[in-house]
């Protein structure tokens, strides 16, 4: 049966009848209940709000016949991950006032709050609004937070890619005033004139989320091949400055649907800065019209590209643009992933320090690292800027040279690990939040990352490979939020106590890892890696990464 003949999914009906993302949210927020109706929970996502419950106590509560421990996760969209000190301080304050005291940096340069109660939603939205931030459209079937390599921004004295990032964020943000009415202005805004929604969103928005990232030509820290639409800056010999545009990437997979799979984006065209909005619009309109609205698991744009092929997809874009497309520029052969950690000099004479944040969780640990306090102090006292990286880390940037030592001292006094002291796996490990907040988690991720890092670093050590860097990414389910599908070692939750192990991705992010072993307990991973590490040690080329080695000897 074709997608047109199948019935559209319930979420499509909810969106259509929501009057541009309002639904009954304005009533639900004041109804005295700890949660919202099922339809409103779908709409909440467009406002950057996820209904969750504490899964550590879910079973006990259900057995006792008690209501679940409801709370909300709020994701703040931060274009390019760039924040002023005042914005950082506002986020820090929110985390004390209405959330669980932590800030969670995400793999898409956003910030999440967990454990927010219904009564905290409006104060949170107002605090964000007061500092020119919003959670609106950080989630939902829209263009998500625009990700941009922090190096492209902080190391570019012209600021042009920061401007483009902000321009794209504005251009593709839905126009409805619903969020400001319901969460920010309350009753005052109810009389506000209805805004026309953008034509490429209409009443039902997109079939699913749509992700855009801008990569540095030589540094794929954003994982450009994993995006619905990736942009790589370049200079065309005839057309001038612009982007090579890639389309059709995405990493999610569902055990329940074997027709789902991770996919790397294909190069589509080269577009100048002046042309890029129209090209993105044409891609979004193509997706809007051809995307599957019947099965949400197969609704991402990567399936449109996979189903019709990149050539026909190109024809669809040409038809919508009404002009031919240029060929894409070839991508640089030497691409790596810069973790942006440690001190570096910026072209304007100032400095930048990249600070590792394990699993993106900024917090103070009693008797341990007090990263949250350290960052607060830096934001309070120094004229700097911040960037969240796509590796869940944070950069303190634009540091005047005279403050370098003082900042080092603050980090030292708060027991924040220096980059030199990080282990070779720890340095680049990513983990998604998973339990206890994520409703989709099959098992643990963030909470067991330190243990897994220790196991793999221990095995490297005993295999005589102590200092070798390795890219580890862990998730609690196959949705792939920490991008394990392109990692050298991807550890993906399968059951409550086991993981599927994927191997063979690489630091360039241009190769999918392949399934090596199913249903492995974490404790069994060193044993599984031991013979592979021994071969890598004995047969690997000079400086050859683990992923490249495995691919060379075992094939892709």
CB of 210 to ligand SF4, least distance (A): 17
Q: From the list ligand SRM, ligand SF4, none, which binds 443 (C-beta under 5 to 8 Å, kind-based)?
A: none
What is the helix (H) or strand (E) element at residue 113, kind and residue range?
Answer: strand 111-116
**DSSP category for residue 449:** H
Pairing of strands 111-116, 70-76: antiparallel
Binding residues for ligand SF4, total number by CB under 6 A: 13
DSSP string, 465-508: -TT----EEEESSTT-TT-GGGSSEEEEE-SSS-EEEEE---TT
Decide: is 252 part of the binding site for ligand SRM (CB under 6 A). yes
Binders in 322-341 for ligand SRM, by CB under 6 A: none
Q: From the list ligand SF4, ligand SRM, none, which binds 50 (C-beta under 5 to 8 Å, kind-based)?
A: ligand SRM
Decide: is 110 part of the binding site for ligand SF4 (CB under 6 A). no
Are 488 and 530 in contact, with CB atoms under 8 Å apart?
Answer: no
Decide: is 260 part of the binding site for ligand SF4 (CB under 6 A). no
Decide: is 247 part of the binding site for ligand SF4 (CB under 6 A). no
CB of 50 to ligand SRM, least distance (A): 5
CB of 101 to ligand SRM, least distance (A): 15
With b for 16 or more beta-carbon neighbours within 10 A and e for fewer, the 262-274 pattern comes to bbbbbbbbbbebe
Decide: is 437 part of the binding site for ligand SRM (CB under 6 A). yes
Distance CA 253, CA 236 (A): 36
CB of 468 to ligand SF4, least distance (A): 27
Site string for ligand SF4, 65-104 (x = CB under 6 A): ----------------------------------------
Give the interface segment with ligand SRM, choosing from 123-131, 430-438, 508-516, 520-528 (CB under 6 A): 430-438
Decide: is 476 part of the binding site for ligand SF4 (CB under 6 A). yes
Binding residues for ligand SRM, total number by CB under 6 A: 30
Decide: is 106 part of the binding site for ligand SF4 (CB under 6 A). no
Decide: is 169 part of the binding site for ligand SF4 (CB under 6 A). no
Selected from 164, 325, 362, 481, the binder of ligand SF4 by CB under 6 A is 481
Q: Which two tokens stand for residue 156?
A: 């570019």
CA neighbours within 13 Å on the CB side: how many for 409? 5
Are 389 and 81 in contact, with CB atoms under 8 Å apart?
Answer: yes
Selected from 115, 217, 230, 433, the binder of ligand SF4 by CB under 6 A is 433
Are 520 and 500 in contact, with CB atoms under 8 Å apart?
Answer: yes
Q: Which two tokens stand for residue 139?
A: 């989630």
Provide the β-strand partners of residue 241: 235
Q: Shortest CA distance to 148 belongs to which of 208, 74, 223?
A: 223
Decide: is 480 part of the binding site for ligand SRM (CB under 6 A). yes
CB of 438 to ligand SRM, least distance (A): 4
Cα of 248 vs its chain's centroid, Å: 16
CB of 475 to ligand SF4, least distance (A): 4
**For the chain, how long is the longest CA-to-CA vector?**
72
Decide: is 135 part of the binding site for ligand SF4 (CB under 6 A). no
Decide: is 479 part of the binding site for ligand SRM (CB under 6 A). yes
Sign of CA dihedral 92, 78, 149, 84: negative
Distance CA 221, CA 40 (A): 35
Which chain residues interact with ligand SRM by CB under 6 A?
Answer: 50, 73, 75, 106-108, 110, 112, 144-145, 211, 223, 226, 250-252, 300, 360, 392, 432-433, 437-440, 479-483
Which chain residues interact with ligand SF4 by CB under 6 A?
Answer: 432-434, 438, 440-441, 445, 475-477, 479-481
């Amino acid at each position: 049966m074709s997608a047109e003949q199948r019935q559209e999914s319930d979420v499509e009906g909810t969106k259509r009848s929501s009057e541009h993302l309002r639904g009954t949210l304005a009533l639900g927020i004041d109804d005295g209940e700890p949660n919202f109706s099922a339809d409103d929970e779908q709409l909440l996502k467009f406002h950057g709000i996820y209904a969750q419950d504490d899964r550590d106590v879910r079973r006990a509560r259900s057995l006792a016949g008690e209501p679940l421990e409801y709370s909300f996760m709020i994701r703040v969209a931060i274009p390019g991950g760039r924040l002023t000190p005042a914005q950082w301080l506002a986020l820090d304050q929110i985390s004390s006032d209405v959330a669980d005291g932590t800030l969670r940096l995400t793999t898409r340069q956003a910030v999440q709050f967990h454990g927010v109660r219904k009564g905290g939603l409006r104060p949170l939205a107002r605090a964000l609004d007061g500092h020119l931030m919003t959670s609106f459209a950080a989630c939902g079937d829209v263009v998500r937070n625009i990700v941009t390599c922090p190096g492209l921004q902080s190391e570019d004295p012209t600021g042009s890619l920061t401007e483009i990032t902000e321009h794209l964020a504005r251009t593709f943000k839905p126009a409805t005033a619903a969020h400001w009415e319901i969460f920010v202005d309350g009753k005052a805004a109810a009389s506000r004139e209805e805004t026309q929604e953008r034509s490429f969103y209409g009443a039902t928005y997109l079939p699913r989320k749509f992700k855009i990232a801008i990569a540095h030509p030589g540094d794929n820290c954003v994982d450009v091949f994993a995006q619905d639409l990736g942009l790589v800056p370049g200079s065309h010999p005839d057309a001038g400055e612009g982007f090579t545009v890639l389309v059709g990437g995405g990493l999610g997979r569902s055990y329940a649907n074997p027709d789902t799979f991770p996919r790397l984006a294909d190069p589509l065209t080269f577009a100048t800065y002046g042309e890029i909005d129209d090209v993105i619009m044409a891609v979004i309109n193509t997706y809007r019209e051809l995307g599957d609205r019947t099965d949400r698991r197969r609704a991402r744009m990567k399936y449109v590209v996979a189903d019709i092929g990149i050539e026909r997809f190109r024809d669809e874009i040409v038809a919508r643009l009404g002009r031919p497309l240029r060929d894409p520029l070839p991508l640089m052969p030497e691409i790596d992933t810069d973790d942006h950690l440690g001190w570096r000099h910026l072209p304007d004479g100032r400095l930048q320090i990249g600070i590792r944040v394990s699993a993106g969780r900024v917090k103070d640990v009693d008797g341990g690292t007090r990263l949250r306090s350290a960052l607060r102090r830096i934001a309070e006292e120094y004229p700097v800027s911040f960037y969240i990286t796509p590796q869940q880390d944070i950069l303190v940037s634009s540091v005047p040279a005279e403050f370098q030592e003082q900042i080092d001292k603050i980090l030292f006094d708060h027991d924040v690990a220096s980059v030199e002291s990080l282990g070779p796996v720890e340095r680049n490990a990513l983990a998604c939040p998973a339990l206890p907040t994520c409703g989709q988690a099959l098992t643990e991720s963030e909470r067991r990352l330190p243990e897994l890092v220790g196991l793999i670093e221990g095995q490297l050590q005993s295999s005589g490979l102590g200092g070798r860097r390795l890219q580890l990414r862990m998730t609690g389910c196959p949705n792939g939020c920490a991008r394990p599908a392109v990692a050298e070692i991807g550890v993906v939750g399968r059951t409550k106590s086991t993981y599927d192990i994927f191997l063979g991705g690489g630091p360039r992010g241009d190769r999918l890892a392949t399934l090596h072993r199913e249903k492995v307990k974490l404790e069994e991973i060193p044993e599984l890696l031991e013979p592979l590490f021994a071969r890598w040690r004995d047969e690997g080329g000079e400086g050859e990464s683990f992923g490249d080695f495995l691919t060379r000897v075992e094939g892709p």
